[in-house]
Amino acid sequence: MDILVNQNQLSFSAKFLDNKAFREVVKYADDTKQLLELDSALNRINNANQGDILLIHGKTPEGVYSNFYMNKRAVQNLGAETPEKASFLGIIELGKLGRKFRRLIGGDVKQADIKVQDIIDKYSVKNG
């Protein structure tokens, strides 16, 4: 008996599904010393909308492909030498929350309900 797991359930933030392609992008960022840039883009994506993002990338005889899927919508990122680099550049572009991100989510960016105290707690330390 097969049990099907639906991984595209709505969550409180936008996150990438943990799969081989996503792990390859993180390794690429580490190898090229761009983890901070990747983390910044993922943080903006995480706070911008709700849902799960599926990343699939690879190589065909026609070239490299990198596809992002969310709620029956998809966007591509092409034009890199490797699938990992194409996906990394795609995440950086999605992190700008521009046209490509709005196309993926199907509308306007929905900023998380962030409060002043959340910013203070997250980005500062107590003095004394």
Confidence grade of residue 47 (pLDDT, cut at 50, 70, 90): confident
62-99 pLDDT tens trace: 899 999 999 899 999 888 999 999 999 999 999 998 89
Q: What pLDDT band is residue 11 in, cutting at 50, 70 and 90?
A: very low
Return the higher-pLDDT residue of 109 and 1: 109
Q: Decide: helix, strand or coil at residue 65.
A: strand
Residue 36 has pLDDT above 50, yes or no: yes
Give the pTM. 0.79
Q: Does 113 score more than 80 pLDDT?
A: no
